[in-house]
Amino acid sequence: MSVRDLKEDDVGYVYSLPILPEFLTGYEFIRFFIDVNENVIARRGEDVDGLFDMMRIAKDDRHKLLKHYSHGMKNKIQMLLFLLMKPPVILLDEPLTSFDVIIALEMKQLLREMKSDHILIFSTHILQLAADLCDELVVLHDGKLSRVSADLLGRPDFEQQVIELLQSDAENEAGAAGNGLGQCQDGTQKEKSDAGSV
Amino acid sequence: MLGVFNTIARRWQLQIATLANRIIFYTQRLPWLRGLISEQAYAAVRAKRTAGAVAVVLRIIAGLLESLLYFGVMIALPVVLWADEREAGERLQLFMHMYFCISVLMAGITSAKIMETNEVKYTAVRLMRIAPTRFMRAVLVYRYSTFFLYQWMALTVIAGIFGISALQALMLVVTVTMWRVGSEWLHLIMFRRSNIVLVKKTGIIVLVMLLTLAAAYLPLTTVDGVPLFGAKAFDQPLLIVLLLFFGVFTGYVLLKQTDFTAEVRAVTNHDDPLLNMEQMMADVQRKAVQANESDYGENPSPPYSSKEAAGRKKGYAYMHELFIARHNSLIRAPLRKRFAAIMVIGVMLVSSALLFAADHLDVNSLEQFLPLLILAMFHLTTGMHLCKVLFYHCDITLMRYHFYRKNAVQHFRLRLGWMLGMNVLIGAALASVLSVFLLILSEGVVHSILLPIWLLTLTLAVFFTVHHLLLYYLVQPYSTELNTKNPLFTLLNSLISVCFIVAMLLRLTPWTLASVVTTLSLAYLFSALPLVSKFAESRFSAK
């Protein structure tokens, strides 16, 4: 396997709030996207309806304007772009935020499928999602990144372990700084995980 | 009093720091300077303070320049250009008359610092809890001492052209300053007696402005019957003395005896939309580019099957076509307004040609007004509005995608062609209207000025189309609220006004002016594509 530096086009970024041109329908936007990225997408864009089927977007919805799409449907369209472009690395910001139960399950399934040929790096507050999908876990706490042992991921008490880890950090800092506890409780607690391999 | 000045100085520092941050932000995006200014520049507080000191000096220079521009461009330039054949005495009278109409009548009625609503006043009085009276006294002292100094210096420079001595200039400016102080008091009294804030009555203000400006500028034209009452007023020693006493008396009352609390509270209501200018402007801007829902309905999405897809447009052309179809009303409305404006101009010109042709209007004398076409086309072409529509309804989302920025040349080319089509049509309409007017004046003879007029309007249509679209792609001035916060964009756009003034001053012949504009337009047109392909990828983005 050859090694090379990452280029801008190698990384795709999935916004937590999808940003799509609202005057186009989902179908038109995907067509346009395939047209202008023809050289990268190649034959993957030949069957547009097949792509929508794969994303479980109903036939009627494909020809609705994007401005009338729900948040979940917009996110599916956004994910579809990455399935077409196949960038080696995909960054996702809170990928299941504000989805209803069904779409959240569908998206989770989709992410699991994408793991096989992409590096997915995502941020989440949902420990269960991290436990279900991730191969590696990094905790961002109080502005510092720390790696969590991969062995922890499969264990039934994974969530409890991570919470204890964060709390013990907070207590240590409170002891050392005297007033650190409030800061830790207010501080953002994010987990970053790296799932899958190229 | 000292404390109030300190507060104003601090407020000033805050404004300067905001401006410095904005300049750092946009300078970092300039191709040649990008590497020189790092993110650390924002933290350079000491440098910002130094910049603040420089800004104070620059602000003084700007104040002086503003007064110079006022006397130079608004009063002296029109007299020099359009009344240069009249006697020196008459030109002096014209100058005095215009100064009286604008500075005494118009400004006296339309501006009053005490009753003005602004953000600084709100922050100082409502948020920083400065006593309204202390704050207003400081504002009045600062305003009218600088007003006097700037106007005096500027008038001393300009007055020489009309034979006004330094002492006369001093007397004139003292009188006007005193009158303005007095008018502040009159506005205050009006509010106390009838609860009316005159400067907020937009209808009255616009009417007063139109009337006073007409009274100021009409004597420059060949229209008879407008007396030079302004010059006569300044010639009355009794009136001057009265104004001086009035100013001194009201100044004393305002600075020593007046409690401004009620007035300041009345104009610093939290709900006043004028206080939140940015939000108000953003709402107005958004409304101006609001899409018509029916456009979406009238242009339903064709469900392309693979067979139908064979004949359809592809890629950016496909998207562009859908964009135009679904924003039809938004695109057509300004076009219709412009054609209506051209029609009105046409009717006015043709009627004036029919009414005054024999006595007053001569085709040859119209040559000097030809540079006005630059201003006319700047306002008539639809570039800026269309760029906002494109930004708000299409690019604001797509410019987040790398492929879209990388392929900027492709959509730029499509849009350039589309906008050129519309603006050339507008140019042709204006040229046609002017041709009819000139043909009536010259009694059917094709005058030599006609061809340069056509060339000028059409090339100006090209120039402004390229100008607006190119700036949009290279500087991308709009924020997500549709505000224009990019100082570079403002600077580049104001160059147009400078070019207009230069063209006026140079008094080029019609053919020379047309040739210069044609050359510039072609150079602009041909440099546009290389510039977009080089810079748009990094510059065409949402702020």
Interatomic CA distance for residues B295 and B325, integer angstroms: 7
Supply the DSSP string of B63-107, one letter for each residue: HHHHHHHIIIIIIIHHHHHHSTTS-HHHHHHHHHHHHIIIIIIIH
Same domain, B106 and B175: yes
- Kindly state whether residue B404 falls inside one of the protein's structural domains: yes
B271 shares its domain with B366: no
Name which of B296, B315, B327 is nearest A35 (Cβ-Cβ): B315
- pLDDT at residue A192, rounded to an integer: 36
**B78 falls within a domain:** yes
Cβ–Cβ gap A32/B319 under 8 Å: yes
Kindly identify which residue of chain B lies nearest to residue A85, measuring between CA atoms.
Answer: B403
Cα separation of A146 and A191, whole Å? 9
pLDDT in tens, chain B (543 residues): 556 567 667 666 666 776 777 777 777 766 666 667 777 777 777 777 777 777 778 878 888 898 988 888 888 888 887 777 778 788 888 899 999 999 999 999 998 888 887 766 777 777 767 788 888 888 888 889 889 999 999 999 888 888 888 888 999 999 999 999 999 999 999 998 988 888 888 888 888 888 888 888 888 776 566 788 888 888 888 999 999 999 999 999 998 888 888 888 887 775 554 445 455 555 555 555 556 666 665 555 554 444 444 457 888 999 999 898 888 888 888 888 899 889 988 888 887 777 766 566 677 777 777 888 888 888 888 888 888 889 888 898 898 888 899 899 999 999 999 999 999 999 999 999 999 988 888 877 777 888 999 999 999 999 999 999 998 898 877 766 555 566 677 777 777 777 777 777 777 888 888 998 899 899 989 999 999 988 888 888 876
- Judged by a CB distance cut-off of 8 A, whether residue B307 touches chain A is no
Domain count, chain B: 2
Domain check: are B259 and B391 in the same one? no
Q: Which residues of B touch A19 (CB under 8 A)?
A: 397, 400
Q: Of B257, B281, B305, which closes a domain?
A: B281
Asked if pLDDT for residue A195 goes beyond 50, the answer is no
Question: Looking at the structure, do residues B115 and B180 belong to the same domain, yes or no?
Answer: yes
Residues 6+ apart with CB under 8 A from A78: A14, A15, A18, A20
In this structure, are B450 and B533 located in the same domain?
yes
Kindly provide the ipTM of the predicted complex, given to two decimals: 0.73
> Is the separation of the CB atoms in B426 and B335 below 8 Å?
yes
What stretches of B195-258 show up as alpha helix (H) in DSSP? 202-217, 229-234, 237-252
Distance in angstroms (rounded) separating the CA atoms of residues B530 and B391? 22
Residues of chain B contacting A31 with CB distance shorter than 8 Å? 304, 309, 318
Distance CA B137, CA B124 (A): 13
* Rounded Cα distance, A12 and A75, in Å: 14
In chain A the domains, ranked by start, together with CATH numbers, are 9-124 (3.40.50.300), 125-198 (no CATH)
Residue B310: inside a domain? no
Q: What is the pLDDT of residues A13-42, one digit of tens each?
A: 887 778 899 888 899 899 999 988 888 887
Minimal Cα–Cα distance from A118 to chain B, Å? 19
My answer on whether B242 and B370 are in the same domain is: no
Q: Does some domain include residue B257?
A: yes
B394 contact A CB<8A: yes
* Torsion of Cα atoms, B406 then B410 then B411 then B414, to 10°: 170
pLDDT at residue A191, rounded to an integer:
35
The tens digit of pLDDT for each residue in A52-99 reads: 888 888 888 888 888 888 888 888 888 888 888 888 898 888 877 767
Residues B271 and B369 in one domain: no
**B29-65 burial by CB neighbour count: b if 16+ within 10 A, else e?**
beeeeeeebeeebeeeeeebeebbeebeeeeeeebbe
Is the same domain home to B268 and B151?
A: yes
Contact B102, B234 (CB under 8 A): no
pLDDT at residue B502 in the model: 78
Task: Note whether B303 contacts A: Cβ–Cβ < 8 A.
Answer: yes
Q: Do B271 and B154 fall into the same domain?
A: yes
Please give, rounded to a whole number of angstroms, the shortest distance from the CA of B368 to a CA of chain A: 48
B37 within a domain of the structure (yes/no): no
**Spatial distance between the Cα atoms of B255 and B250, rounded to a whole number of angstroms:** 8
B308 falls within a domain: no
Same domain, B397 and B529: yes
Contact A31, B304 (CB under 8 A): yes
Non-local CB neighbours of A100 within 8 Å, separated by 6+ positions: A72
Q: Is B468 exposed, middle or buried (0-12, 13-18, 19+ CB in 10 A)?
A: buried
Yes or no, beta carbons of A28 and B323 under 8 Å apart: no
Bridge partners of A189?
Answer: A141
pTM of the model: 0.62
Q: Which of B295, B313, B322 would you mutate first to test chain A, the one with the most A CBs within 10 A?
A: B322
**B470: domain range?**
316-328+360-539
Cβ distance A32 to B318 less than 8 Å, yes or no, reads yes
Q: Same domain for B321 and B238?
A: no
Cross-strand pairs, A181:
none
Q: Are B266 and B322 found together in one domain?
A: no
SS3 B206: helix
**Residue B55: closest CA among B103, B80, B6, B20:** B20
| B394 interaction partners in chain A (CB closer than 8 Å) | 21, 23
Asked if the Cβ–Cβ distance from A36 to B407 is below 8 Å, we say yes
Confidence check: pLDDT of A177 > 80: no
Distances (CA, A) of B193 to B82, B190, B200, B202, B203: 44, 5, 16, 20, 21
Give SS3 for A91. strand
Q: Which residue of B has its CA nearest to A31?
A: B315
CA triplet B392, A26, A45: central angle to 5 degrees?
A: 120
How far is B197 from chain A, CA to nearest CA, in Å? Answer: 44
Task: Decide if B95 is inside a domain.
Answer: yes
